[in-house]
Amino acid sequence: MVKAAKTAAAVAAFAAAFACGGASAADARMSIIPAPREMKQMPGECRLKGDPKVEKSASIPPEGYELSVRPDGVTIRCSSAAGEFYARATLAQIERYDRRTRRKIYPCVEIKDFPEFKWRGILVDTARHFLGKTAILRVIDEMAQYKFNVLQIHFTDEEAWTLEIPGFPELAGQGSVRGRSGFVYGEGLQPFRYSAKDIKDIVEYAAARHVKVVPEIEMPGHFGAALRAYPSMKCKCPGGGKVLCIGNPEAVRFAEEVLDRVCEMFPSDVIHFGGDECTRKYWKDCPACQALVKREGLKGVEELQPWLTRRLVEHLAKKGRRAIGWDEIFMSSKWEKWDEFKKAGGDSFNPLLPKTTMGMCWRPWGAGALAANKGYEIVRCPTSHCYFDLRQGLAEDPFPYLGKGVTPLSKVYSLDILEGVAPEARANVAGGQCCNWGEFTIGIVDLEWKLWPRALALSEVLWTHPDPAKRDFAEFSKRAAVHRRRLLSRHVNCAPLK
């Protein structure tokens, strides 16, 4: 807590010294995304030979930096390696290369910059359609340039289990074969799964770019692939349970051991254990689940998931990890009655949920605000602004999307990530994330099309401007147009701006 308070004080002092600004679009060379907090452009340019000078300064916030480009050289000041990395990312965005003199040329500028939010995330779904290591590394390359720092990988779902788990060979053995997906891409490339070596490579590649890889292992719902591999973990009830049998001690231990192996593979301090959209109908008819309800004195099967959630949160805590789960982990009532939960507000909160649990809040109406105001740390990814598997509103678009919802670039840019959050709970909002679900996204080509340019807008929301009123979409669009050309020049399949 002391460290957090010190960090907050350093950020406040830094912000007070350099009031929030925003980049000008007047000069394409200065089209920086996300816009720096404070930037002063000066006449002249620097023709740099060699490397910038790097100075450490403890007064600069974590991930923050100062960048000074003068005719006689470039100086980076920072307190961390991440700050230096982001300074270099900014520098790369204003660079021009003179082939004749073989020197890098930069316009003179003074920048003082730091992020508004510490969780600036992108989710990719490799369970619905397998993406492969190369695709993941490509995403990391680009997201890091725009100062995103969390890559959440949705490894498991009904359709597939794509992560090899030592000790449970059947998971990725049987689980990674497509289930019910209507699109099959690269079928000849099977098996669709990541080995321990793949994960090591991805984690190291990401770390070198200051991106944390947060693995997501869905349970107790969205667990179909695991249950195909290990059917004994299902509820034993008429029709065959399609969820983890919480009443079966062996099944709960199985869940814990899978998380143990995941902790060994991923150094992330946060582990995502899913928790969303789990029906309770199978637990009602399962003798083992009914027996657990009785044994633990629970009110009914609706308390089975909260019971499991608490157990998994505590299990991860013993390993020094924090659990994060979707909205539903906050609910004590049935998820089918979400409207009732909304009406009941805080009264329907899961009373068993430890306060250290983080929430990833995808429902747009404000479940996130409710949780933040109750003291839980949250990451916001509302379907309304952050689900990039919804269409972009382009006149012509070759790719399929989920449903009829439309989330154009302008809408992403208008996200109010603090909506409904009380001022005193502001620090409970760790940040935000875009979700790129894979039901209709079959590979890197359409993933990039759906991700860019919308992720450019989100990067600025999370880094520069928490207040939508301070954003100017017309001005941002000019900079985004420059970056679209640059993304295309790097062979990134960026969609047109809308």
When the beta carbons of 39 and 286 are compared against Zn ion, the nearer one is: 286
When the beta carbons of 182 and 239 are compared against Zn ion, the nearer one is: 239
When the beta carbons of 287 and 403 are compared against Zn ion, the nearer one is: 287
CA 369/CA 428 separation, integer angstroms? 9
Helix (H) or strand (E) holding 38: strand 38-48
Q: What sections of 54-162 are H helices per DSSP?
A: 81-93, 132-145
Cis status, amide bond into 191, omega within 30 of 0: yes
* Cα separation values, 81 from 4, 6, 62, 63, 114, Å: 19, 19, 9, 8, 13
Query: Which of these, 197, 202, 158, 150, lies nearest to 176 by C-alpha position?
Result: 158
Least Å from the CB of residue 39 to Zn ion: 58
Please, what is the Cα angle at 180 between 177 and 181, to 5 degrees?
Answer: 85
Among 140, 151, 286, 409, binds Zn ion (CB under 5 A): 286
Stretch that binds Zn ion, among 86-94, 135-143, 232-240, 258-266 (CB under 5 A): 232-240
Chain centre to alpha carbon of residue 183:
25
Binding-site string for Zn ion from residue 140 to residue 169, where x marks contact by CB under 5 A and - marks none: ------------------------------
Answer yes or no whether residue 292 interacts with Zn ion by CB under 5 A. Answer: no
Least Å from the CB of residue 246 to Zn ion: 6
Answer yes or no whether residue 227 interacts with Zn ion by CB under 5 A. Answer: no
Q: Sort strands 212-219 and 150-154 into parallel, antiparallel or unpaired.
A: parallel
Answer yes or no whether residue 91 interacts with Zn ion by CB under 5 A. Answer: no
Among 289, 308, 316, 367, binds Zn ion (CB under 5 A): 289
Task: Look up residue 229 and give its two tokens.
Answer: 């591999």
Among 23, 122, 219, 235, binds Zn ion (CB under 5 A): 235
What's the sign of the alpha-carbon dihedral 392, 206, 216, 114? negative
Least Å from the CB of residue 316 to Zn ion: 22
Least Å from the CB of residue 283 to Zn ion: 5
Stretch that binds Zn ion, among 79-87, 231-239, 333-341, 458-466 (CB under 5 A): 231-239
When the beta carbons of 158 and 448 are compared against Zn ion, the nearer one is: 158
Answer yes or no whether residue 323 interacts with Zn ion by CB under 5 A. Answer: no
Binding-site string for Zn ion from residue 247 to residue 266, where x marks contact by CB under 5 A and - marks none: x-------------------
Q: Note if 277 is an active site residue.
A: yes
CA 371/CA 378 separation, integer angstroms? 7
* Cα separation values, 295 from 28, 269, 301, Å: 67, 33, 12
Active-site choice (210, 222, 272, 315): 222
Question: How is 444-459 classified by DSSP, letter by letter?
Answer: HHHHHHHHTTHHHHHH
Question: Total number of residues binding Zn ion (CB under 5 A)?
Answer: 6
Q: What sections of 392-495 are H helices per DSSP?
A: 409-413, 444-451, 454-463, 473-489
Integer Rg of the chain from CA: 23
Least Å from the CB of residue 447 to Zn ion: 36
Task: Look up residue 127 and give its two tokens.
Answer: 């369970």
Answer yes or no whether residue 233 interacts with Zn ion by CB under 5 A. Answer: no
Least Å from the CB of residue 279 to Zn ion: 12
Active-site choice (157, 158, 164, 439): 157
Q: Note if 129 is an active site residue.
A: no
Q: Note if 472 is an active site residue.
A: no
When the beta carbons of 247 and 366 are compared against Zn ion, the nearer one is: 247
Answer yes or no whether residue 36 interacts with Zn ion by CB under 5 A. Answer: no
Least Å from the CB of residue 233 to Zn ion: 9
Least Å from the CB of residue 244 to Zn ion: 8
Stretch that binds Zn ion, among 77-85, 244-252, 306-314, 489-497 (CB under 5 A): 244-252
CB neighbour list of residue 184: distance below 8 Å, 6 or more residues apart: 178
Helix (H/G/I), strand (E/B), else coil: 115: coil
Answer yes or no whether residue 245 interacts with Zn ion by CB under 5 A. Answer: yes
Active-site choice (51, 264, 269, 277): 277
CA 422/CA 80 separation, integer angstroms? 31
Give the catalytic positions in this structure. 157, 222, 277
- Residues of this chain that bind Zn ion (CB under 5 A): 235, 245, 247, 286, 288-289
